Structure 1
Amino acid sequence: MRVLVTGASGYVGSRLVPALLAAGHEVAVGARDVEGIDRFAWADRVERRYLDVEDTVSVHLAVRDTDAVFYLVHSMGAGEFLHRDRDAAESVVAACAYAGTGRLVYLSGLVPDVAPGDLSDHLRSRLEVEEILRAGPTPATVLRASMVIGGGSMSFEVMRRMTERLPVLTLPIWMRSRIQPIAVEDVVRLLLAALDGEPRDRTYDVGGDEVLTYSELLARFAAVAGLERPQVPLLFAPVRLVGEGVAVLTGIPRSTIGALVRSLTHDMVCRDDVVRRELAPGTAYLSLDEALARSLAGDTAATSPEGDVQGEADSDPSWVGSTRA
């Protein structure tokens, strides 16, 4: 199958491309900086197509002659990103319809069971994008994932830096919300499976085998990492203030951290497990402890065929990796 991956230079996209190649697919990658693709281990095995989701013409040119499009573009910044994401999704839908693309696959985020007005801008944008994709004429498979466990994942790296840098974890009481994390190896497997069989025009919730609170997840991380990190509840901790503190502590951009922290106030748990029956029948997911251990192992070839997808990659941002001496 001829596949276009948008967002191929991002975390999940850069891990998906080698899996697609290993499965025998012809892969084109869409990017604004096509020369920047050189930093990836798979660069010489893919076709490069200029794609700027804010440039309708480039979207149409990038999508031409494709059987499937993986839409892995997400804005995490501040400002008008909701408007940009909406326009970009509409451009992709129109381009796929015009080109006769057979299917779309979108990686979204779990949507908590709250009123739409109570969602963070980040989650509301994800939901709006998937609704736009599903409303178009091209069958769209949407995978809604909670925290993705893997070296280089934004959420994982925030958890790593907080745990490594703080001898005592002071946690707001609203971090008792529940989460259902999943290993990036399993996310990639499910994305690949979305290409099998007839196109599926539906949304799937995606999560691992365990549901736990954020404080329990941090405790598990510390245990696997071999760190002793007592936890102290914090009764008064405004979400915005916590976001600022986490940004300073981790060195990750404030706008990105703010979007993530605002999502922590809700339960992020799957409503059902249909995805495992339809996309991964008989397949066991990685256990949480194994996913954490492999993500911490120090492997830096996650985007190479011989590397561990759970690990880091040399092409990851500078803030990825352990801060321990």
Structure 2
Amino acid sequence: MRCLVTGATGYIGGRLAPRLLAQGHTVRCLVRRASRLRDVPWAAQTEIVEADLRRPETLPAAFDGVDVAYYLVHSLGTAGFEAAERESAANFAAAARAAGVRRIVYLGGPEPAAGGKVPSPHLRSRAEVGRILLASGVPTAVLRAAVVIGSGSASFEMLRHLTERLPVMVTPRWVHNRIQPIAVRDVLGYLVGCATLPPQVNRAFDVGGPDVLTFVDMMQRYARVAGLRGRVVLPVRALTPSLSSHWVGLITPVPSSIARPLVESLIQEAVAGEHDIARYVPDPPGGLTGFDRAVELALVKIRNAEVETRWSTASGPDAPAEPLPSDPEWSGGTVYTDVREQVVAAPPAALWWVVEGVGGEHGWYSFPLAWSARGWLDRLVGGVGLRRGRRDPHHLRVGEALDFWRVEQLVPGELLLLRAEMRLPGRAWLELRVEPVEGGGSRYAQRAIFLPRGLAGHAYWNSLLPFHAIVFGGMARNIARTARRRTPRGCTVHAAEHPTDRA
């Protein structure tokens, strides 16, 4: 089928497109600026059409020949978003009907309960968009989901950062409302499955995971999965949605303009009233993904320090729910890095000779007292310290100890990745790279990576910031200087060979 995906530069659309491709569908992406998909690897397999849902004259080319059209856009965080979403949905519906589209699929929010609290503007707008599409004359499937659990989802990022940064928190009463979260992989499974619904199906479906929880439950269970201590939650009646959203905007990287409608939506309980979608799109063989497992998948990227997302892992049954290049900058949790580079007037082989020799009797090429003090401090708290040294003064192997590091990856002549084994409020890596430079010489690239755990992790990294220039900056400069001064005999061999092997 030929599928049109709107919102391909957004959270859900950016994950749906490669899954549709994997199922053998032809994908066309409707975007306002094609340049936003320039660095997305799967985009080369799609057709990209520039159009604007608020300018109906731009839409016919995008809808021409389309079988299934996905409506995955919203104006959350912009002024007057209700009117903007109403206009966009009406234009989308008209263009789909005129082009003879056979199916519309829309991902919306939970239906406000009848007789309940006045729905938030966000939920009210989501429901209105669904009604416009259902009345379009094109068979439409509206999927109504509450909180989507996956790295990059605004709701999940709000949950993640509140839980990680606040071991004790003052909360409003709405944190005790019931919510039925759903893993992003299950949402995407339903979206893909809806492409082949029978033509007579024109209705909304509630979609949710197997767990019904309160927001407090989700914070405590997130903490447990992330290896944090249980959080202390103190409810306070006086916290209005407006005050809560400002607090969320201060503590988390989610912008207040997005946090406010999300917080307002949580005032309404969001529990699925039916599971009729399973009659048309069966649940996965192992069942829908539970909350804890969804969080584990969202944290895979963080725990593995995969700072660059691999989209190719996104379509498999065990794919992590990690960020994509098209996600907002605040997606994916906190990854602190310190990056240093030096251009070295020495062959790559000479530079690699120094890199592979770090640690042990050679030391770490900067501020020896600081490294020694860190080693003693680690031993005082029960860590390994620097006492392990290294097995061989010149050669390393994957898996062996190197002072308070462990060699996690080794590409001779190119890459040394060390995983920290000292006691830390988080996880840390040190990446050392050697690259040839056109015209001679080489480039030394050094990156320290730290994934904080809880508030202590953030405090730890920020407390050491004043010393980074001395420790990490000095290390990069001195490794480069040593490579220039101590070029061993035989350094002109191929970089993959260790220079001392030819000395």
Q: Deviation per CA, 1:108-161: give whole Å up to 9, x if none.
A: 011131459811110111011000000011111110001000010000001111
- Alignment partner, residue 248 of structure 1: 250
Q: Which sits farther off after the overlay, 36-45 or 185-194? A: 36-45
Please give the alpha-carbon distance, in whole angstroms, between the structure 1 residues aligned to 2:284 and 2:325: 33
Q: Which of 306, 309, 312 matches 2:313?
A: 306
Q: What amino acid does structure 2 have at the position aligned with 1:262?
A: E
- CA contact under 8 A between 1:162 and 1:250: conserved in structure 2? yes
Q: Which sits farther off after the overlay, 304-313 or 288-297? A: 304-313
Please give the alpha-carbon distance, in whole angstroms, between the structure 1 residues aligned to 2:283 and 2:292: 22
The offset of 1:80, in angstroms, is: 1.4
- CA contact under 8 A between 2:157 and 2:254: conserved in structure 1? no
- CA contact under 8 A between 2:10 and 2:326: conserved in structure 1? no
Please give the alpha-carbon distance, in whole angstroms, between the structure 2 residues aligned to 1:68 and 1:236: 47
- Alignment partner, residue 291 of structure 1: 294
Q: What amino acid does structure 2 have at the position aligned with 1:103?
A: R
Q: Deviation per CA, 1:39-67: give whole Å up to 9, x if none.
A: 21211100000121111111222111101
Q: Which of 257, 273, 276 matches 1:274?
A: 276
Matched residue SS, 1:319: coil
The offset of 1:201, in angstroms, is: 1.0
Q: What amino acid does structure 2 have at the position aligned with 1:57?
A: E
Matched residue SS, 1:189: helix
Please give the alpha-carbon distance, in whole angstroms, between the structure 2 residues aligned to 1:281 and 1:239: 35
- Alignment partner, residue 139 of structure 1: 139
Report 1 or 2 for greater relative contact order, CA contacts < 8 Å, sequence distance ≥ 6. Answer: 1
- CA contact under 8 A between 2:171 and 2:234: conserved in structure 1? yes
Q: Which sits farther off after the overlay, 217-226 or 278-287? A: 278-287
- CA contact under 8 A between 1:5 and 1:13: conserved in structure 2? yes
Please give the alpha-carbon distance, in whole angstroms, between the structure 2 residues aligned to 1:180 and 1:213: 8
Please give the alpha-carbon distance, in whole angstroms, between the structure 1 residues aligned to 2:31 and 2:193: 24
Q: What amino acid does structure 2 have at the position aligned with 1:19?
A: R
- Report 1:33-52 matches (<5 A): 33-52=33-52
Please give the alpha-carbon distance, in whole angstroms, between the structure 2 residues aligned to 1:57 and 1:100: 17
Please give the alpha-carbon distance, in whole angstroms, between the structure 2 residues aligned to 1:181 and 1:252: 19
Q: What amino acid does structure 1 have at the position aligned with 2:243?
A: L
Give the aligned length.
325
Pairing 1:198–2:219 present? no
Q: Which sits farther off after the overlay, 301-310 or 270-279? A: 301-310
The offset of 1:231, in angstroms, is: 1.7
The offset of 1:16, in angstroms, is: 0.4
Q: What amino acid does structure 2 have at the position aligned with 1:66?
A: V
Q: Which sits farther off after the overlay, 131-140 or 310-319? A: 310-319
- Alignment partner, residue 149 of structure 2: 149
Please give the alpha-carbon distance, in whole angstroms, between the structure 2 residues aligned to 1:85 and 1:145: 18
- Report 1:49-198 matches (<5 A): 49-115=49-115, 118-198=118-198
The offset of 1:254, in angstroms, is: 1.5
Pair 1:282–1:252, CA change in 2 (3 A): closer
Q: What amino acid does structure 2 have at the position aligned with 1:249?
A: I
- CA contact under 8 A between 2:145 and 2:207: conserved in structure 1? yes
From the CA coordinates, give the structure whose radius of gyration is larger: 2
Please give the alpha-carbon distance, in whole angstroms, between the structure 2 residues aligned to 1:178 and 1:303: 34
Please give the alpha-carbon distance, in whole angstroms, between the structure 2 residues aligned to 1:220 and 1:291: 11
- Report 1:191-230 matches (<5 A): 191-199=191-199, 200-228=201-229, 229-230=231-232
- CA contact under 8 A between 1:41 and 1:304: conserved in structure 2? yes
Pairing 1:318–2:329 present? yes
Please give the alpha-carbon distance, in whole angstroms, between the structure 2 residues aligned to 1:115 and 1:197: 32
Q: Superposition RMSD on alpha carbons, in Å?
A: 1.7
Q: TM-score, normalised by structure 1?
A: 0.95
Q: TM-score, normalised by structure 2?
A: 0.62
Q: What amino acid does structure 1 have at the position aligned with 2:223?
A: A
Matched residue SS, 1:118: coil
Matched residue SS, 1:296: helix
Matched residue SS, 2:20: helix
Q: What amino acid does structure 2 have at the position aligned with 1:306?
A: T
Q: Which sits farther off after the overlay, 189-198 or 20-29? A: 189-198
- Alignment partner, residue 239 of structure 2: 237
- How high is the sequence identity, in percent, across the aligned residues? 38
Pair 1:128–1:117, CA change in 2 (3 A): farther
- CA contact under 8 A between 2:37 and 2:326: conserved in structure 1? no
Pair 1:116–1:213, CA change in 2 (3 A): closer
- CA contact under 8 A between 1:31 and 1:52: conserved in structure 2? yes
The offset of 1:303, in angstroms, is: 6.6
Q: What amino acid does structure 1 have at the position aligned with 2:190?
A: L
Runs of at least 5 residues in structure 1 that lack an aligned partner in the other structure: none
- CA contact under 8 A between 1:14 and 1:303: conserved in structure 2? no
Matched residue SS, 1:272: coil
Please give the alpha-carbon distance, in whole angstroms, between the structure 2 residues aligned to 1:318 and 1:197: 35
